[in-house]
Amino acid sequence: MYFETRAKVTSEGKRKALNYLVDAMSFTEAEAKTLRICEGLADISIEAIKVSKVSEVVQGDTEGAFYKLKASTDPEDGKPESFTFIIYGEDEAEAGKTLHELYQGFTIESITKTKIVEVVR
């Protein structure tokens, strides 16, 4: 299960928000992992934790950002099933291409750049 966490930290004299996608079994574990990843930064506070609808995370080796892809299957015998993927890539086009290379039969409904800075496992 994935959780989306937002931590407020002071780094280099400036206060900023860092968003993480955390693979955890509970809110408590997600909070602990977020605090651990922020270790060394001054004045850390967890601002928000919520259960994510992400089905799967695909991380690449290139420089880029995390993109949220909402996609659905197109079954012949019933209602389409929706999935949310987080894919790391250079841009939206690469993220969409990665999804189509890994999974056949998905129709991409939307692709948006996220504010996620890291996926914590």
The model's pLDDT over 70-103, given as tens digits with 9 standing for 90+, comes to 999 877 777 888 999 999 999 999 999 999 999 8
Q: What share of the chain in percent tops pLDDT 90?
A: 74
In a domain, 62, yes or no: yes
**Judgement on whether residues 8 and 39 belong to the same structural domain of the protein:** yes
What's the domain range around 24? 2-51
In a domain, 7, yes or no: yes
**Judgement on whether residues 68 and 43 belong to the same structural domain of the protein:** no
**Model-wide pTM > 0.75:** yes
Alpha helices in 38-106 (DSSP H): 92-102
Q: So what's the pLDDT on residue 110? A: 97
Q: What is the CA radius of gyration of the chain?
A: 16
CA distance between the termini of the chain = 10
**DSSP 3-state assignment of 51?**
strand
Mean pLDDT of the chain: 92
Token pair in block for residue 76: 């012949």
Per-residue model confidence as pLDDT tens for the chain (121 residues):
999 999 999 877 889 999 999 999 999 999 999 999 998 887 899 999 999 999 999 987 778 999 999 999 877 777 888 999 999 999 999 999 999 999 888 899 999 999 999 999 9
Q: Whose CA is closest to 84, among 112, 47, 42? A: 112
Whether 58 and 85 have beta carbons less than 8 Å apart is answered as yes
Q: So what's the pLDDT on residue 80? A: 85
**Judgement on whether residues 45 and 67 belong to the same structural domain of the protein:** no
In a domain, 119, yes or no: no
Q: So what's the pLDDT on residue 114? A: 97
**Judgement on whether residues 106 and 64 belong to the same structural domain of the protein:** yes
Domain count, the chain: 2
